[in-house]
Amino acid sequence: MKATVALAALVGAQGISGLSVPTNVRNFYNRVKPTTCTGAEKLKGGFYDQDGGSAQWSYCRKAFPDSGKHAIYLHGPSTKLANMDIDCDGDLSNPVDGRCGYSEDTQGQTRWKAEVQAASGGRISDLNANIHPYVVFGNERDDGGATFDPRSVGIKPLSVMAVVCGDKMFYGVWGDTNGHD
């Protein structure tokens, strides 16, 4: 069975603590950052990293050396890896700090709301960004823009994902997708 993990680069996060990045993940990160994503490694291209930006971002897959495992990540032009933003979709109760109050793009549910309810036996109505660390991964659009469904490469909803930010690594579940609002 082929193992696949998702890896994203987190830029500019402050006020949260993480674990040290394991050597094999740091080596992988250093190996993919200076390269481009082409050929069989490029799963799907044509994505934006921000509104009004250029569609030069791609979902990529690269193998960890000698392990049989792969990582999926977002690569942009030159040596850029995707940045990460605060996402406040889902259960909006119990605000802990002001981060979600400033969002102009909040939706009242995550993509995997039904799966969260089923996995929790109905005890959790949906993910709450103030309580549950989750990652937005994949693109679903209804306007003809580029789409990518991570399930097509074996990633299951609510799978654990690793996010690298500088010298720290954070974990969250795959809890939402990026849609067109």
pLDDT digits (tens, 9 = 90+) for 97-152: 666 766 677 888 999 999 999 999 999 999 998 888 899 999 998 888 899 999 99
Q: What angle do CA 180, 76, 74 make, to 5 degrees?
A: 65
Q: Looking at residue 97, what is its pLDDT?
A: 63
What pTM does this model have? 0.82
**Average pLDDT of span 88-102:** 73
Backbone angles phi, psi at 110, to 5 degrees: -95, 170
Q: How far apart are CA 21 and CA 30, in angstroms?
A: 12
Q: Looking at residue 3, what is its pLDDT?
A: 39
**Average pLDDT of span 71-77:** 90
Q: How far apart are CA 179 and CA 119, in angstroms?
A: 23
